[in-house]
Chains A and B, each alone.
Chain A
């Protein structure tokens, strides 16, 4: 610096900013043409960056997110979009009553029912019918999906006069949706009276018949916490336990029946006949709710897990006993081949365990039971067949073949366990009624679960802005929502079969949209990675560009100021 100043000392130095710089000669001002060229160059570069580079970068790095009806989805999850109601049509058949009498009985009974009902979403609607026709076809057809526009008939009540009765009594058909009520002819209500013992009796009967269902639905709708106030704690606990035990709803269930034994015998069973006799009729009845596949296997040399508690001999019972708390370790999941069946849908396992002759008979210690349910998994039955002494001095052995008769109790238990695992209520006694109830319960729980899946999906898309949302998810969501509302309408109009069908579709689509694979595998680029890729390019290029732009802006601003001052 100092040498420079020494060299270039000149008297014409015009600058007066500092002592050392006073000697320098300033260059002539730039020509306007040069300034304009520079301006154009910088503008051209920036135009390319803004109009070409930036859009390309945006396009190539952006994530496709189909638009979802977030508001609607959240509404469904919050229960604002639909309040499920369960109006049950009950037909009153009064073959031996006058029309006006029947009308009056209907009115008073309906009135009593409405007074008794404390859960508005579930109510019984009485209708008069000429009892001959409906009673006939009720037994079979009710389980099929009904014709589109008519509501399902939940129950037919037939009123039959019977002489010599002091008070009315009822009889529920076990295999049909029919309730026969026998009443003394004297109790036919007179039109003037507002109440009558018969209508009170009918109302009480119906209330009792649907008590458990009502409590269950209230339990489901209220989110598994509080049910109805009137529900007894015992019933509430039962419902809660059943709901916890039952399998998640699925379109298809695989039933797997397995014979396990620690030795080599028995190695065969009359399984085809047993399935045909005990399981198939039940599956036929359950077919409107779900599809079922059945497979069976025989597994020999199936030992307990080494960590499982061993059976202990109980002198007083003269039997080998398993402790109740040890039952959870009974199934040796590591070694027993109980892998789920291939295909969609969960597998329900039923295990028929024949203990070793040296440990026979085998029962549960606390309650002498021979079967139990593994919640959401299946059931176990301990079969203690009569031992046979083949040789004189040899140890007793199990029979090598289990006949249909010996399998009977086990398969009765299995069908009961199947109903429990599917969430069918324990009352009333009529199986068709229970299955109807189960349709309504399933429809309600599916509706809720699909709605809450929608809510979760909405929350997920809001909270993770970097996940892609493919168009298929949007389609699935709209299918779900339309089926949800269809299901809601069906429920309101009492078509429960159709409501369940819609709810099934909604649930499937909701699950499909939530578990969409391309959403799960989101592109993950950590910020360090971005810096490592972008910086080597953007640094050396960006700095001259930005500096050039700033200089130019400064120059333009200075000229503006100068122009302003001059004018």
Chain B
């Protein structure tokens, strides 16, 4: 924890400085880009765009920096605060350290949306929520309209409003996730249209759908909240961020020839100390030098000047920052100025307006590395068990700190067809000594909020307040049962499985007063899948059974019972008998003709 506070995160510092300096101007715009090389030849690019509009002009629908489409949606749905996330990929916390923005600007895989809605009661809040999701669905070309009552929860302690709300508003928090949504270019285009400079100037000109969605991890977020100053003057603030981790080698591949080729033999750097090292066997050594890259290579385009709307005061004119050790050489375009910060790692660039900007870093031996903070908590969630009927959930929390316990809220929203048995909630703890101990769950779980599911109406909501002791790993498990869906409830790709939304972990970090969020990966739940010709089979089978039973009973009731020879006599009188008789007669006549011909 102390480690964390010493290396003050650039994100936190940035937020705080911007907040205090100019957050209360009536109408302004800021943008900022932070580039940070990460281990394993990755590059984190963290874009941030923030603009304000006064509450008054927002209410009168005079939109300048705040996009009109989004503003009208908020007013129509009486939404006071909105958070929307589009995320793909997985943040590799073990090698990349803490998440950007402490995880507060990212969502679970897919789409995540939560909003505070002003409404007199729950039903009306839900109606407004549906309006909101439908409208956002159209605006962002996402399937947000599928956020229905089964995917909506009302978290109790997991989220806190970030804006300043008036006490008169009756706010309802609603939260919805779409873990199966594939975030793609069609979501980026409307996202860019919301920006005042529209991707034509400033750092947003670097966005390219091909590169962004090719990233190892990316998260787009939109946050809208009212911010009030001490003297009661309020502004509506929209903040859009895009964070992505690009693989440098992968991004440098040219668009025209994107197929990865193996490194030619002579360029391979092999570990010659290995006994098996020979002409055809190579153990590649880890490169000791940092990769060379430039903005134009990584993003496929160069940065197109600055967005002229940013006001040129203080920090905001240095809209591009890079976190590499100061001794590394960085080449920048001529018109730009470099400003090195005191922390020894950060340098920012003052860009000239309407002149393309590029920065490139040559390949250099890495002597010092930018220190990465270790996450406060590791979390991992998996589905265990086998069979089509039952399964289990296993959540592993690891506290890397040797000194302090970590307290957090664990929030899970499960689909209704996954029916957890909370009485089977068990905890095991592995301490410093590495010995596994079974402990009662109540020792780890401080508080529980559980709202059971109702079939086809709402999902399970589970919020746990947990505490993991120092240098320990806690494993929580519980069992669940898989429900059988109705025939029409299966999606077309039923055998792929059903997405279970990621769990949200909110770390109660009192030291910084900034919430830290971690999201687990989303899960895939296999449900028993029927044969989809089933209804017709059922119709035919039951019809056959009914017809058999009916026919037997009906025949017994109406048929006359006679002896065998009597039946033959009767048979001659029936239609069948007469037809048979005629057939025999015809046959005989034909035979007679045949014999005559012969």
Contact = CB atoms under 8 A, between A and B. Distances in A.
A264 B201 CA distance: 9
B123 interface: no
Interface in B296-339: 307-309
A34 B562 CA distance: 13
B554 A540 contact: no
Of the four ranges (under 10, 10 to 19, 20 to 34, 35 or more), the interface on chain A belongs to 35 or more
Interface in B528-578: 536, 539-540, 542-544, 546-548, 550-551, 554-555, 557-558, 560, 562-563, 565-570, 572-573, 577
A294 interface: yes
Given A267-B309, A295-B62, A536 B543 contact: yes
A132 to B, nearest CB: 43
B69 A26 contact: no
A537 B551 CA distance: 11
A21 interface: yes
A339 interface: yes
Contacts of B69: 337, 339
Contacts of A548: 554, 558
A334 to B, nearest CB: 10
B560 A537 contact: no
A268 B540 contact: no
Given A271-B62, A301-B198, A545 B568 contact: no
A27 B570 contact: yes
B539 A533 contact: yes
Interface string A330-346: 00000101010111000
Interface in A274-308: 293-298, 300-301, 303
A21 B569 contact: yes
Contact of B63 (A8, A296, A303, A544): A296
Given A272-B57, A300-B198, A21 B63 contact: no
A4 interface: yes
A38 B573 CA distance: 20
Contacts of B581: 18, 20-21
A26 B572 CA distance: 10
A450 to B, nearest CB: 28
A343 B550 CA distance: 59
Most chain A CB within 10 A, of B60, B555, B568, B573, is at: B568
Contacts of B200: 301, 303
B107 interface: no
Given A25-B566, A540-B544, A264 B62 contact: no
| Interface of B: prevailing SS | helix
Nearest to B196: A300
A377 interface: no
A265 interface: yes
Contacts of A298: 63-65, 196
A264 B197 contact: yes
Given A339-B69, A536-B543, A26 B76 contact: no
A544 B551 CA distance: 7
B67 interface: yes
B287 interface: no
B364 interface: no
Contacts of B569: 15, 21, 24-27
Contacts of B201: 264, 301
A191 B246 CA distance: 99
Contacts, number: 133
A1 interface: yes
B557 A541 contact: no
A109 B119 CA distance: 63
Contacts of A402: none
B309 A540 contact: no
A30 B308 contact: no
Given A30-B560, A42-B558, A264-B309, A540 B551 contact: yes
A259 to B, nearest CB: 9
A17 B572 contact: yes
Contacts of B563: 27
Interface string A7-31: 0100000010110110011110010
A339 B135 CA distance: 12
A532 interface: yes
A544 B554 contact: yes
A30 B562 CA distance: 10
B17 interface: no
Contacts of A545: 554
Interface in A510-558: 532-533, 536-537, 539-541, 544-545, 548
B72 interface: yes
B563 to A, nearest CB: 7
A268 to B, nearest CB: 6
Most buried by A among B536, B558, B581: B558
B68 interface: yes
A24 B568 contact: yes
A45 interface: yes
B539 A264 contact: no
A175 interface: no
A268 B65 CA distance: 10
Contact of A264 (B27, B193, B308, B570): B308
Closest 6 CB pairs of A and B: A540-B547, A295-B61, A24-B569, A536-B543, A27-B566, A301-B200
Given A27-B562, A540-B550, 12 more contacts: A18-B572, A21-B572, A26-B569, A41-B554, A264-B307, A297-B67, A300-B198, A301-B198, A337-B67, A536-B544, A541-B547, A544-B551
19 contacts: A8-B565, A15-B569, A17-B573, A24-B572, A25-B565, A27-B570, A41-B554, A271-B62, A295-B62, A298-B196, A335-B193, A342-B135, A343-B76, A532-B539, A536-B539, A536-B540, A537-B542, A537-B543, A548-B554
Interface of A: 1, 4, 8, 15, 17-18, 20-21, 24-27, 30, 34, 38, 41-42, 45, 256, 264-265, 267-268, 271-272, 293-298, 300-301, 303, 335, 337, 339, 341-343, 532-533, 536-537, 539-541, 544-545, 548
